[in-house]
C-alpha cells in the first residue's frame, strides 16, 4: 500500500508541473537551431508570428555550452512576443537543463527550459517532451573542448519509468516531442556512425538502445503524432499508425 501511494504522489506531482499553453495561442514546433540567428529572426518576424499570440516549442541544439550563451539566446528571444519552450538537444550542456536551480534562473513568463521528461497541454492535446540524444562524435574534439557530455547528454536513463508513471494516472498522450527519433532511411550502422565507432566501441550499441527506447516511448504513450529533429532533414512517414515528422534545421510547423 505504501509504495502504491508514493507512486501516486509522484504522478500527481509530475502533472502539477505540466506546462499549460494558452488555447488562444497558435502553436509552432521548430527543429534544431544551431545558431542560425538570421533564420530565427526571419521566422519570429514573419506575419504568422507577428499577427497573433504564439507559442514556440524548440526541439534543441542551441549550442548552449555555457550559462552566458544561454543567457544571450534568451535575450534574443525576449525581443519578440513569442512564448518559447526549449527542449534539450545533444549539443546543449545538460547541466543547464538538469540542474533546476540553474534552469530556474533563466526562466521567465515567456522562456521555459523543459525538463528532460516533461508534459505540455494545449487545446486539449497532451504532449510528452523527451530531451537529449547520443552524440555520434561524443569522443572527438568536441569532448576535449568541453562541448560534449557523454555521461549525461543522452535521453534520461529512467525515461520509461517516468512515462509509465505518467500513463498510470492519465488518458495518455496525443503528441510526442523528442530531440532525436526514428528514420527508416538512416540505420544505426552506416558509414557516418561507423567512422566514429572505430574509436568509440560502445557507440553503435548505445545508438541502438536509444532507438529502442524511442520505440518503447511511442508504444507506451499512445501518441498519434511524433515530432523530432537531430537528423537535419525533412521527412514525414506513417509508422504503426503514428504520423512521424522529422524537422530540418530551423524548420517550423504549426500544430493543428
Count of Cβ atoms closer than 10 Å to residue 214 Cβ? 21
CB contact set of 141 (below 8 Å; sequence gap of 6+): none
Distance between CA atoms of residues 146 and 156, nearest Å: 20
User: 92-146: per-residue pLDDT in tens?
Assistant: 999 999 999 999 999 999 999 999 999 999 999 999 999 999 999 999 989 999 9
**Domains of the chain by start residue, with CATH:** 2-255 (3.60.21.10)
Confidence of residue 240 (pLDDT cuts 50, 70, 90): confident
Please tell me what DSSP assigns to residue 146: T
Strands 235-239 and 242-246: antiparallel
Torsion 118-120-126-127 (CA) sign: negative
Strands 26-30 and 54-58: parallel
pTM (2 decimals)?
0.92
53 vs 7, residue with greater confidence: 53
User: 180-218: per-residue pLDDT in tens?
Assistant: 999 999 999 999 999 999 999 999 999 999 999 999 999
In this predicted structure, the answer to whether residue 243 has a pLDDT above a threshold of 90 is yes
For 8, the enclosing helix (H) or strand (E) is helix 2-16
User: 27-38: per-residue pLDDT in tens?
Assistant: 999 999 999 999
Amino acid at each position: 500500500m505504501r509504495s502504491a501511494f508514493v507512486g501516486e504522489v509522484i504522478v500527481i506531482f509530475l502533472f502539477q508541473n505540466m506546462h499549460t499553453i494558452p488555447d488562444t495561442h497558435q502553436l509552432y514546433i521548430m527543429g534544431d537551431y544551431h545558431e542560425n540567428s538570421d533564420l530565427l529572426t526571419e521566422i519570429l518576424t514573419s506575419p504568422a508570428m507577428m499577427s497573433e499570440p504564439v507559442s514556440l516549442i524548440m526541439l534543441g541544439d542551441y549550442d548552449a555550452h555555457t550559462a552566458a550563451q544561454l543567457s544571450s539566446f534568451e535575450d534574443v528571444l525576449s525581443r519578440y512576443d513569442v512564448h518559447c519552450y526549449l527542449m534539450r538537444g545533444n549539443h546543449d550542456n545538460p547541466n543547464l537543463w538538469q540542474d533546476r536551480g540553474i534552469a530556474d534562473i533563466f526562466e521567465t513568463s515567456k522562456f521555459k527550459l523543459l525538463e528532460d521528461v516533461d508534459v505540455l497541454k494545449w487545446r486539449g492535446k497532451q504532449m510528452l517532451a523527451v530531451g537529449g540524444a547520443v552524440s555520434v562524435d561524443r569522443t572527438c574534439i568536441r569532448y576535449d573542448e568541453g562541448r560534449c557530455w557523454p555521461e549525461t547528454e543522452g535521453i534520461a536513463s529512467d525515461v520509461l519509468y517516468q512515462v509509465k508513471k505518467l500513463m498510470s494516472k492519465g488518458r495518455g498522450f496525443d503528441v510526442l516531442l523528442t530531440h532525436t527519433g526514428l528514420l527508416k532511411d538512416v540505420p544505426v550502422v552506416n558509414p557516418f556512425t561507423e567512422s566514429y565507432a572505430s574509436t568509440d566501441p560502445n557507440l553503435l550499441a548505445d545508438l541502438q538502445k536509444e532507438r529502442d527506447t524511442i520505440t518503447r516511448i511511442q508504444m507506451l504513450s499512445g501518441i498519434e503524432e511524433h515530432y523530432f529533429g537531430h537528423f537535419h532533414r525533412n521527412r514525414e512517414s506513417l509508422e504503426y499508425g503514428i504520423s512521424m515528422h522529422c524537422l530540418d534545421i530551423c524548420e517550423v510547423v504549426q500544430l493543428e
